[in-house]
Amino acid sequence: MLFQVRMDVNIPLDMPVEQANQIKAVEKAYSQDLQRQGKWRHIWRITGQYSNISIFDVESNEELHNILQGLPLYPYMNIEVMPLNRHPSSIREDDR
């Protein structure tokens, strides 16, 4: 199942820099592992914002939910999820 996920990050301004950097380092490793597994297909930064648009390829809504809740920055995010389906006018044979 493919999902588009928008993540807006709002780290508290009073969080110590060292703590924020540690959370971001763990987040990066977690996200890159999911990318290597093929579950986190794409990630794009939204210019001028601490936000991204990502495409996930997972088995179920529950798997996506668990992945998102596992993000170290999850407590500081606003997340919007949009399920995706193949469009009948697509000329592609797959989802690449």
Q: What is the pLDDT along the chain (96 residues), one digit of tens a residue?
A: 999 999 999 999 999 999 999 999 999 999 999 999 999 999 999 999 999 999 999 999 999 999 999 999 999 999 999 999 888 898 887 765
Closest CA to 13 of 68, 53, 52, 50: 50
Amino acid at 4: Q
* Strand pairing report for 77-84 and 40-45: unpaired
Long-range contacts, stretch 16-23, CB < 8 angstroms, 24+ apart? 23/72, 23/73
pTM: 0.90
Question: Residue 95: what pLDDT?
Answer: 66
Q: What is the pLDDT of residue 94?
A: 73
CATH of 2-84, one of 3.20.20.150, 1.10.600.10, 3.30.450.20, 3.30.70.1060: 3.30.70.1060
